[in-house]
Amino acid sequence: MNKGTFEIFNQTAESIPFGKEELVYVIELIQERENRNFYRVEVVFVDDNEILEINSRYLGHDYVTDIITFPYHDDNAPVEGTLFCCITQIKRQSQELNTRFKTEVLRVVIHGLLHLVGHVDTTDFQRDQMHALENKYIKFFQDS
């Protein structure tokens, strides 16, 4: 598998609980396990206002969400995309779910990466499958 370009951008005042090296590890793990080549991935951390603007402008939704994923590649081409992650929503979710903040950020990023490689979560069954994959990759990450 080729090495791609991976970037993290934090457009908020919030602290991100992991760095680029950890992001690269997660991307390379998913790349290997999902048998897809990642070319370029940007992870952009935004606040409630920014995610609301993106959600409204591009998806026609009027609510805050934890992540919006934009793939830029064709089906079998090397994976390229941007993950817009709402750090304030993720923080709220970690409190509501009583999980570590870092674990919840990791789960959301993994969720977006899974969307980039073609997983969907429109049905309950698909959501359950994606959640199981998220747990699997979180465990790999935590065991490393």
Question: How confident is the model at residue 144, as a pLDDT?
Answer: 64
* Residue-wise pLDDT tens digits, 4-53: 899 999 999 999 998 889 988 999 999 999 999 999 999 999 999 999 99
Question: How confident is the model at residue 117, as a pLDDT?
Answer: 95
pLDDT at 2 over 70: no
Structural domain boundaries enclosing 82:
5-143
Tell me how many degrees the CA angle 16-121-133 measures, rounded to the nearest 5.
60
Beta strands in the chain (DSSP E): 5-10, 38-46, 67-71, 79-86
Exposure class string for 92-118: b at 16+ Cβ within 10 A, else e: ebbeeeeeebeebbbbbbbbbbbbbbe
Query: Which CATH number characterizes residue 15's domain?
Result: 3.40.390.30
pLDDT at 103 over 70: yes
* Residue-wise pLDDT tens digits, 45-95: 999 999 999 999 999 999 999 999 999 999 889 999 999 999 999 999 999
What does the pLDDT average to over 112-132? 97
Question: How confident is the model at residue 115, as a pLDDT?
Answer: 97
Provide the number of structural domains found in the chain: 1
pLDDT at 118 over 90: yes
Question: How confident is the model at residue 140, as a pLDDT?
Answer: 85
How far is the C-alpha of 19 from the C-alpha of 8, rounded, in Å? 8
